[in-house]
Amino acid sequence: MYNTHITNITLSIPNDIYRLMRRYREINWLEVARQAIIERLFRIKASRDGLTREELAMFLEIKGIEIPKVELSAEKELALLSRIKERERVTMKRLKESEGR
């Protein structure tokens, strides 16, 4: 389970948008904003740095997505581990290149 400590933020929107939002009171606009922020944040992090297992698990939990557990053959597991190691190698290379800038 992800860290449940909560931090509050203030969100400013134009008055015209707020008036429209009030017309649809059945919508939990705070939850809409929270979900949009979470999704955007994880998409950016995933594309730039990749996600850790913990971050992916947190994202899936927040989105209410369950992934069925799949048993892999030894060959498929080794191939998957090889792809993971290659992705880590590329990530480390990018980090080293960005440090040199």
Task: Kindly report, residue by residue over 36-75, the tens digit of the pLDDT.
Answer: 998 899 889 988 888 888 888 888 888 888 877 878 888 9
Q: Model confidence over 18-27: pLDDT tens digits?
A: 999 999 999 9
Q: Are 1 and 60 in contact (CB under 8 A)?
A: no
- Please give the Cα distance from 61 to 66 (Å, whole number): 7
- Please give the Cα distance from 76 to 70 (Å, whole number): 11
The answer to pTM > 0.75 is no
- Please give the Cα distance from 84 to 73 (Å, whole number): 16
- Please give the Cα distance from 77 to 17 (Å, whole number): 50
